[in-house]
Amino acid sequence: MSTRQRNLILFFILFTIQTIHPCTTAIISGKYTKNGRPLLLKHRDSGFEQNKIMFFEDGKYNYIGLVNSEDSEGIEVWGGVNSEGFAIINSASYNLKPDSDTTTLIDREGIVMKLALQQCATVNDFENLLQTMDKPLGVEANFGVIDAKGGAAYFETNNFTYNKIDVNNKKIAPFGYVIRTNYSFVTDRTDGYGYIRYNTANELFYEASLENNLSVEFILQDVSRSLKHSLLNINLKKNIEFSENEEKLIPFQDFIPRSNSCATILIEGVKKNENPELSTFWTILGFQLTSVAIPVWVKSGAELPKILIANNTGNAPLCEKALELKEEIFPIKLGNGKRYINISKVINKEKTGFIQKIKPLENKILAETNKKLSVWQNENYLPKEEVQNLYNWIENKVTSFYKLEFDKEL
pLDDT(20) > 70: no
- pLDDT value of position 109: 98
pLDDT(361) > 70: yes
Give me Rg for the CA atoms of the chain.
20
Q: What's the rounded mean pLDDT across residues 85-110?
A: 95
Tally of CA atoms within 13 A in the half-sphere of 146 that contains its CB: 35
Q: What's the rounded mean pLDDT across residues 101-126?
A: 97
At 143 the three-state DSSP class reads strand
- pLDDT value of position 188: 82
Is residue 190 in some structural domain?
A: yes
Q: What is the largest CA-CA distance in the chain?
A: 61
Average per-residue pLDDT for the chain: 94
- pLDDT value of position 2: 47
C-alpha to C-alpha distance for 286 and 51, rounded to whole angstroms = 7
Specify whether the CB–CB gap between 21 and 47 falls below 8 A: yes
C-alpha to C-alpha distance for 147 and 110, rounded to whole angstroms = 19
Is residue 211 in some structural domain?
A: yes
Is residue 54 in some structural domain?
A: yes
Percent of the chain with pLDDT over 90: 92
DSSP element (H, E) containing 64? strand 63-68
Is residue 356 in some structural domain?
A: yes
Specify whether the CB–CB gap between 282 and 265 falls below 8 A: yes
Specify whether the CB–CB gap between 355 and 363 falls below 8 A: no
Side chain identity at residue 317, one-letter code: P
Is residue 10 in some structural domain?
A: no
Sign of the four-CA dihedral 187, 193, 195, 198: negative
pTM over 0.85? The answer is yes
pLDDT(5) > 60: no
* Per-residue CA distances from 231 to 24, 57, 116, 196 (Å): 16, 45, 36, 6
Position with higher pLDDT, 16 vs 264 = 264
Nearest to 235 by CA among 225, 244, 220: 225
Local confidence band at 53 (pLDDT 50, 70, 90 cut-offs)? very high
Is residue 2 in some structural domain?
A: no
* Alpha helix segments (H runs only) across 147-255: 195-210, 216-217
Beta strand residue intervals within 277-330, DSSP E: 280-285, 293-296
Q: What's the rounded mean pLDDT across residues 304-309?
A: 98
What's the pLDDT tens digit per position in 23-35?
A: 999 999 999 999 9
C-alpha 311, offset from chain centre: 23
Percent of the chain with pLDDT over 70: 95
Tally of CA atoms within 13 A in the half-sphere of 379 that contains its CB: 10
Local confidence band at 8 (pLDDT 50, 70, 90 cut-offs)? very low
What's the pLDDT tens digit per position in 181-214?
A: 999 999 887 888 999 999 999 999 999 999 999 9
Is residue 232 in some structural domain?
A: yes
Output phi, psi for 361, to 5 deg.
-65, -45
Q: What's the rounded mean pLDDT across residues 86-105?
A: 94
pLDDT(12) > 60: no
Is residue 3 in some structural domain?
A: no
- Residue 259's domain is classified under what CATH number? 3.60.60.10
What's the pLDDT tens digit per position in 374-387?
A: 999 999 999 999 99
**DSSP at 390:** H
How many domains, in total, are found in the chain? 1
C-alpha to C-alpha distance for 276 and 62, rounded to whole angstroms = 12
What's the pLDDT tens digit per position in 231-247?
A: 999 999 999 999 999 99
Burial (CB count within 10 angstroms: exposed 0-12, middle 13-18, buried 19+), residue 312: exposed
pLDDT(339) > 80: yes
- pLDDT value of position 191: 86
pLDDT(174) > 70: yes
What's the pLDDT tens digit per position in 130-152?
A: 999 999 999 999 999 999 999 99
Identify whether 360 is preceded by a cis peptide bond (ω within 30 of 0): no
Q: What's the rounded mean pLDDT across residues 80-107?
A: 95
Local confidence band at 16 (pLDDT 50, 70, 90 cut-offs)? very low
Domain of 275 in residue numbering reads as 16-406
